[in-house]
């Protein structure tokens, strides 16, 4: 997603007497304000065009003396305050640049407040034409701000939105069969101040299917899993953090006694077959593996569930996203899921006589025979690329995806 060039930025050089707003690819510690990076120069130009329509800063590169006999066309269409002729002082022009900076930072409320003060002052001086221009500019800024406003749930139970107010970049991806679209939103102070996108072709099966590159990818993935596991182990070894998590849970659940034992259950199956359950136990915030249990279920479709007389909580208890209590609950949930999945895989392998292919709905003896003839073994199928499996006579891409997910 990056070539040999640096990313473009929008730059405002505050060291200039009458600063300009322009694009640059060099970021230095020169006292200027930089906004970005943007993915493409076209994205920067679109942002500059919007800002230029809202704020009348100069776009020329001439030396400003304030003695020019007349301004250029931009002054007459309200696109520049004409410091070149002395119509705007250095302080007047600096206020326009300050408004540009506030807008790029997402602080449109401060921008409109500043414009309203200028409009009121112009009206008091009977400069009604200038006041009307400022009024139209306020409406334009408010319209853009409303279009860019991002609404979020401000429910404090959903967790702190401090980072949301401070600003963030949000990345989303939509992937098709052979291409992908990546969308990036630049959010500052709850407002969308810019957006960018990337279109990627050939996005299918980019991970190697076999050979040394496949081994390299698996090695990196193993290291990532080990790193996550080590992080979890380190977290569980921190008694102060565990105690904090337990105390938070006791408070959230309004427990009359100290929390000592927690159990979590998980059920695993594929299309209703080999249904199994797991129970994991944590005591004092630590896993008690000697009391873990596994279950196999026999389903009787003629038996319906009966109602219980126990009272259930009408509203869910939502733990703050940054709380240690939430992380502890997630750890217990993940452990129960891992324990159930491991048991289910063992049973699945035995029931399929060593061939997980039999568990894939839509692949019968004929298709299985064609797959084995093409790849020679289950290992060969596992190492084959998705397109190679889909190309086998009788197979489809959806079947190939389900097969890869199962084995």
pLDDT attached to residue 352: 47
Q: How confident is the model at residue 185 (pLDDT cuts 50, 70, 90)?
A: confident
Q: Say what angle helices 108-124 and 90-104 make with each other, to 10 degrees.
A: 150
Greater model confidence, 145 or 327: 327
Query: Under a CB-based contact definition with an 8 Å cutoff, are residues 43 and 65 in contact?
Result: no
pLDDT attached to residue 155: 46
Q: What CATH class does 238-300+318-351 carry?
A: alpha beta
Residue 358, pLDDT above cutoff 50 = yes
Pairing of strands 9-12, 293-296: unpaired
Greater model confidence, 344 or 368: 368
| Average pLDDT score over residue span 123-141 | 82
- CA 279-309-264 angle, to 5 degrees, is 15
Instruction: Say which DSSP state 394 is in.
Output: T
pTM across the whole model: 0.42
405/407 Cα distance (integer angstroms): 6
Residue 20, pLDDT above cutoff 80 = yes
247/3 Cα distance (integer angstroms): 51
> Considering only CA atoms, which of 264, 266, 258, 259 is closest in space to residue 281?
264
pLDDT attached to residue 2: 46
Query: Residue 190 contacts by C-beta under 8 Å, 6 or more apart in sequence?
Result: 106, 149, 150, 152, 164, 165
16/338 Cα distance (integer angstroms): 61
Query: Under a CB-based contact definition with an 8 Å cutoff, are residues 280 and 336 in contact?
Result: yes
CA distances from 21 to 81, 235, 340 (A): 14, 48, 59
Q: How confident is the model at residue 276 (pLDDT cuts 50, 70, 90)?
A: confident
pLDDT attached to residue 272: 52
Which range of 137-141, 219-223, 331-335 scores highest in mean pLDDT? It is: 331-335
Average pLDDT, the chain: 79
266/243 Cα distance (integer angstroms): 25
Query: Under a CB-based contact definition with an 8 Å cutoff, are residues 275 and 296 in contact?
Result: yes
Query: Under a CB-based contact definition with an 8 Å cutoff, are residues 287 and 281 in contact?
Result: yes
Query: Under a CB-based contact definition with an 8 Å cutoff, are residues 57 and 75 in contact?
Result: no
Question: Could you read off the pLDDT of 203-248 as tens digits, one per residue?
Answer: 666 676 777 777 777 777 777 777 777 777 777 778 888 888 998 8
Q: What is the percentage of the chain residues whose pLDDT exceeds 90?
A: 8
Query: Under a CB-based contact definition with an 8 Å cutoff, are residues 142 and 113 in contact?
Result: no
> Considering only CA atoms, which of 32, 34, 84, 37 is closest in space to residue 56?
84
| Average pLDDT score over residue span 113-130 | 83
CA distances from 202 to 70, 177, 205, 213, 250 (A): 56, 9, 8, 18, 51
H/E stretch holding 275 reads: strand 273-283
pLDDT attached to residue 269: 64
Q: Residue 72, by phi and psi: left (phi above 0), alpha (psi -120 to 50) or beta?
A: beta
390/399 Cα distance (integer angstroms): 7
pLDDT attached to residue 154: 44
* Residue spans in the chain of domains classed CATH 3.30.420.340: 238-300+318-351
- How many alpha carbons fall within 13 Å on the CB side of residue 357? 20
| Average pLDDT score over residue span 68-75 | 90
pLDDT attached to residue 31: 86
pLDDT attached to residue 275: 75
Query: Residue 254 contacts by C-beta under 8 Å, 6 or more apart in sequence?
Result: none
| Average pLDDT score over residue span 291-317 | 63
Least confident segment among 33-37, 150-154, 203-207, 251-255: 150-154
CA distances from 68 to 87, 88, 121, 282 (A): 10, 12, 27, 80
Across the strands, what pairs with 187? 168, 192
Instruction: Say which DSSP state 356 is in.
Output: G
113/116 Cα distance (integer angstroms): 5
Q: What is the fold of 356-407?
A: DNA polymerase; domain 1 (1.10.150)
Sign (positive or negative) of CA dihedral 386, 387, 391, 394: positive
**What are the φ and ψ backbone dihedral angles of 312, each rounded to 5 degrees?**
-115, 150
- Mind spelling out the 3-state secondary structure of 144-208? HHHHHECCCCCCHHHCCCHHHHHCEEEEEEEECCCEEEEEEEEEECCEEEEEEEEEEECCCCCCC
pLDDT attached to residue 160: 47
* Residue spans in the chain of domains classed CATH 1.10.150.20: 356-407
Residue 397, pLDDT above cutoff 80 = yes
């Amino acid at each position: 997603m990056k070539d040999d060039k640096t990313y473009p930025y929008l730059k405002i050089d505050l060291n200039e007497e009458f600063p300009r707003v322009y694009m640059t690819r060099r970021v230095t510690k020169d006292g200027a304000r930089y906004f970005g990076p943007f993915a493409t120069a076209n994205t920067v130009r679109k942002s500059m065009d919007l800002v230029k329509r809202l704020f009348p800063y100069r776009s020329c590169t001439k030396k400003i003396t304030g003695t020019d006999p007349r301004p250029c066309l931009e002054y007459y269409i309200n696109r520049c305050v004409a410091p070149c002729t002395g119509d705007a002082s250095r302080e007047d022009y600096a206020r326009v640049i300050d408004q540009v900076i506030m807008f790029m930072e997402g602080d449109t409320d401060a921008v409109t407040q500043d414009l309203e003060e200028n409009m009121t002052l112009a009206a008091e001086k009977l400069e009604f034409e200038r006041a009307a221009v400022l009024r139209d500019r306020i409406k334009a800024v408010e319209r853009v701000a409303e279009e860019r406003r991002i609404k979020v749930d401000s429910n404090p139970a959903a967790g702190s939105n401090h980072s949301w107010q401070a600003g963030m970049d949000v990345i989303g991806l939509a992937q098709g069969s052979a291409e992908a679209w990546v969308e990036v939103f630049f959010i500052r102070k709850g407002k969308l101040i810019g957006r960018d996108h990337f279109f990627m072709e050939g996005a299918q099966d980019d991970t190697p299917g076999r050979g040394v590159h496949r081994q390299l990818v698996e090695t990196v993935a193993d290291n990532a899993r080990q790193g996550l596991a080590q992080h979890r182990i380190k977290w569980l070894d921190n008694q102060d953090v565990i105690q904090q998590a337990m105390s938070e849970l006791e408070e959230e659940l309004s427990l009359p006694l100290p929390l000592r034992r927690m159990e979590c259950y998980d059920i695993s199956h594929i299309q209703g077959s080999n249904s199994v359950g797991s129970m994991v136990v944590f005591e004092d915030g630590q896993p008690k593996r000697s009391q873990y249990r596994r279950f196999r279920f026999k389903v009787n479709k003629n038996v319906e569930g009966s109602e219980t007389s126990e009272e259930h909580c009408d509203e869910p208890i939502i733990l703050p996203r940054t709380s240690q209590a939430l992380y502890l609950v997630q750890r217990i949930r993940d452990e129960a899921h891992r324990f159930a999945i491991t048991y289910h895989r063992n049973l699945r392998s035995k029931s399929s006589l060593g061939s997980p292919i039999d568990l894939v709905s839509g692949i019968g003896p004929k298709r299985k025979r064609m797959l084995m003839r093409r790849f020679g073994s289950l290992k060969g199928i596992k190492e084959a690329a998705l397109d190679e499996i889909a190309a086998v006579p009788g197979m489809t891409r959806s079947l190939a995806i389900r097969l890869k997910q199962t084995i």
